[in-house]
Amino acid sequence: MDIKVTLNPNPQTPPTGDFGFGQLFTPHMFLMEYHDGQWENPRIQPYGPFELDPAAKVLHYGQEIFEGMKAYRNAADDSVHMFRPDKNIARFNISCERMCMPPVDEKLFARALDLLIDIDRAWVPSSPNALYIRPTMISTQVGLGVKASTDYIFYIIIGPVGSYFKGGVNPLRLRVEEKYVRSAHGGTGFAKTGGNYSASLLPIQKAQAAGYDNIVWLDAKEMKFVEEMGAMNICFVYDDKVQTAPTGDTILNGVTRDSVGVLLRDLGHNWVEEPPAIDQIIEDAHSGKLKEVFACGTAAVVTPVGVMHYKGADHKIAGGGEGPLTLQLREALTGIHAGGSELHPEWLHVVPTFENV
């Protein structure tokens, strides 16, 4: 399918200064509609609002999915690349299946990303800033019947974001969530679907009101095992292993988590995907066996955890500062993102320059 391009007649120039997160968008977006059993009219057009009927299904039953990925500018040759976009494209279609939505052809998806980023190439900031990419699908059929929609919109919006580490690296203070749960077996925890995030707002707000940065989710069945953080995965560093929860249907299979696992195995570490028992973690934090804890995800790359609150007390992890492996992993990953690293060049997809756009 050919992608039709309508350029914005009045494109803004890229801003400078602090981009924040998810506040700024480029002059163009990709868009296509699903109707009568097929995707139609793939196009790039000026960024802007679209109309939705007040009875569109997404507004009532949340049939919605999204992705989050980044493109970076290579300081050496000014080229632009994405980090492992094939992983996000595949995960988007996994989310699609769970939410009863039509998949997007992987080649068309990849071409839409390339073309859109190329058109707004001037908006890809230099390191440590990046271009955030938000592919989204919503259900648009009009009608209040609780039933999968027949119609959808798939769109991609992009915009510059600042580095998570602007004020320096501050180890996270996390509260282990003992009342609410994020995801149960058979549920939608492995899908990037809006409802998972709206359900987490209240517990996160409560934890932040109590002075914590974020929460750690436990398994819904026994409330005994650490699952993830709700936008980041979490890993526990011991002398003889680095442990994280196995992927399955309750946690989001992070691209950063996967990349960290590969880098650790490259370095000869023992990467263990087994449910981390919260009681054991707290005990090991006190005995000193637990050397480091870090969170990982597209937004924060790899970020240290200094404190975990559980059963009424704050538990410090190895003095509360950043550990050496956390630092090493963050530097390895940000080095790959910046371009020019010898590690895993196959993880970078260079955005081609198209003629005549």
Ligand X SMILES: *Cc1c(COP(=O)(O)O)cnc(C)c1O
| Interface contacts to ligand X, rule CB under 6 A | 68, 192, 228, 230-233, 252, 254-257, 297-298
Taking the complex as a whole, the smallest distance from the CB of residue 223 to ligand X amounts, in Å, to 18
Answer whether 216's CB lies under 8 Å from 235's CB.
no
Minimum CB distance to ligand X smaller for 139 or for 233: 233
Minimum CB distance to ligand X smaller for 116 or for 215: 215
Radius of gyration of the chain (CA): 21
Taking the complex as a whole, the smallest distance from the CB of residue 258 to ligand X amounts, in Å, to 8
Minimum CB distance to ligand X smaller for 33 or for 273: 273
Taking the complex as a whole, the smallest distance from the CB of residue 78 to ligand X amounts, in Å, to 26
Minimum CB distance to ligand X smaller for 297 or for 339: 297
Residue with tokens 């995800």: 297
Minimum CB distance to ligand X smaller for 299 or for 338: 299
Taking the complex as a whole, the smallest distance from the CB of residue 1 to ligand X amounts, in Å, to 27
Structure tokens at 228: 């993830």
Taking the complex as a whole, the smallest distance from the CB of residue 278 to ligand X amounts, in Å, to 18
Taking the complex as a whole, the smallest distance from the CB of residue 254 to ligand X amounts, in Å, to 3
Q: What is the b/e burial string over 102-137, where b = at least 16 CB atoms within 10 angstroms of the residue's CB?
A: bbbeeebbbbbbbbbbbbbbebbbeeebbbbbbbbb
Nearest Cα neighbor of 67 from 161, 116, 133 is: 133
Taking the complex as a whole, the smallest distance from the CB of residue 12 to ligand X amounts, in Å, to 28
Q: What is the b/e burial string over 326-357, where b = at least 16 CB atoms within 10 angstroms of the residue's CB?
A: beebbebbbebbbbebeebeebbbebeeeeee
Q: Could you give the CA distance from residue 34 to residue 66 in angstroms, rounded to a whole number? A: 16
Minimum CB distance to ligand X smaller for 74 or for 256: 256
Taking the complex as a whole, the smallest distance from the CB of residue 69 to ligand X amounts, in Å, to 7
Taking the complex as a whole, the smallest distance from the CB of residue 257 to ligand X amounts, in Å, to 6
**DSSP result, 50-97:** ----TTBTHHHH--EEE--EEEEE-TTT--EEEESHHHHHHHHHHHHH
**DSSP result, 101-116:** -----HHHHHHHHHHH
Helical H segments across the chain, by residue range: 58-61, 85-98, 106-119, 194-198, 201-209, 255-266, 278-287, 324-338
Minimum CB distance to ligand X smaller for 26 or for 256: 256
| Phi and psi, residue 270, nearest 5° | -95, 100
Cα–Cα distances in angstroms (integers) from residue 190 to residues 84, 182, 281, in the given order = 19, 11, 24
Nearest Cα neighbor of 333 from 272, 254, 247, 250 is: 254
Minimum CB distance to ligand X smaller for 119 or for 332: 332
Minimum CB distance to ligand X smaller for 64 or for 228: 228
